[in-house]
Structure 1
């Protein structure tokens, strides 16, 4: 999201951009996540709904229900690698940044980013863009579509066996996609579109 914000300003020296698992707008993100949530098993949705209505999203039941979503759309590898587990532990220990920016969860974005969008400014991006996402990603196709629809020459690569972390789930293919894109950048600094 920060890279997209930077690119729409047309900064000098920007030669290309890789956007991995990021939405073009939080309203699009929220719509996609809501659709994914509706596809969860009924009993999981009922727990999420009940705990949210009761204001008990810190409960063990809520965490277990949310984990079903995460196992489908955040990271499809279990157990989580140490670096991912550490991020979750850190967020649980001090949720200040996440709650300020997102809110209690990605199911209901109420934080400062709730209305964030670069969609109306994407046509100003004049560098090659590689958009990456997993086939089961919580960054749904609809949330990344504006990048490929509005940035001239932007390319999309979907990793079919991955969710939100194809850099972990399909590490070799992910690395090859990024390396191929970067190899298209010539010595003069222009990436091939």
Structure 2
């Protein structure tokens, strides 16, 4: 794994946002800023993107407030955790690092919606946008989850539904049934890579953000995000945008389609042997797609 050139914590009001930088954040270099999923996960499972520092592109990872190395607030009320909070945190980090005038954003899953919302305001310093494995709205996500759940082996969805109705989603039986879904549509590698397990366990070590905004599982979204999406604003995105998803992704093509329909300058790559984490499941193909895109938006060269 690539060693960081800097680590730190950006003051964010009375809180702190942990970050790490790989490469040189020189003024003339376009930085790649990586927003993780969840909400409530950590940067760990996306550390492989630090490899793009070898192309002269400094890479910034950070843990969103509430998890990982950033401030934890287990007693914060539900209305504290808002989309606007995380947008403000991203803006604050860009200013703190001095890169607000020259950066590309990569957002995975929830992070994809977050960076799409950020980009829809057409910030002057944004050079490009990558939305990876992200639905365009949570209502659409839930519609597609129902389709995927119906395709699970006999009895699995019935078990999930029974525990969801009873409010016993913390039971071992529910967790075992969720793993059947996750092994199909979240990560198809066996075993899961260490960096992915690290983020997964971090999220459940402090599930405050995830349980509040999402819910008890990927497909039972009953939190504050359940009615939220970005379909009303992504037509305002003005930079070249790359969509990435997996053929077996829980973010199904139907859930991603509005981005392709509404963003003016967009390209979509579906990785055929991946689910929700193509950067781990098909790393070579993922790196090639990303390198081609970055070559275009960072250096102005045409991709091959």
TM-score normalised by length of structure 1: 0.93
- Partner of residue 172, structure 2: 60
Q: Is the 8 A contact 1:3 1:19 kept in 2?
A: yes
Q: Is the 8 A contact 1:134 1:164 kept in 2?
A: yes
- Partner of residue 101, structure 1: 213
Alignment partners' CA distance in 2, 1:15 and 1:93 = 35
1:35-184 to structure 2, matched below 5 A, reads 35-184=147-296
Deviation at residue 22 of structure 1 after TM alignment:
1.0
Gap runs ≥5 in structure 1: none
Computed over aligned residues only, the root mean square deviation of the Cα atoms, in angstroms, reads 1.6
Deviation at residue 190 of structure 1 after TM alignment:
9.4
Runs of 4+ in 1 over 4 A off after TM superposition: 189-192
Q: Is the 8 A contact 1:182 1:191 kept in 2?
A: no
More strand by share: 2
Alignment partners' CA distance in 2, 1:157 and 1:140 = 13
Q: Is the 8 A contact 1:128 1:191 kept in 2?
A: no
- Partner of residue 2, structure 1: 114
Deviations 1:26-57 (A, max 9, x none): 11111111110111112111211122222211
Gap runs ≥5 in structure 2: 1-112
Worse-superposed segment, 163-172 or 116-125: 116-125
> What SS does the corresponding residue of 1:120 show, helix, strand or coil?
coil
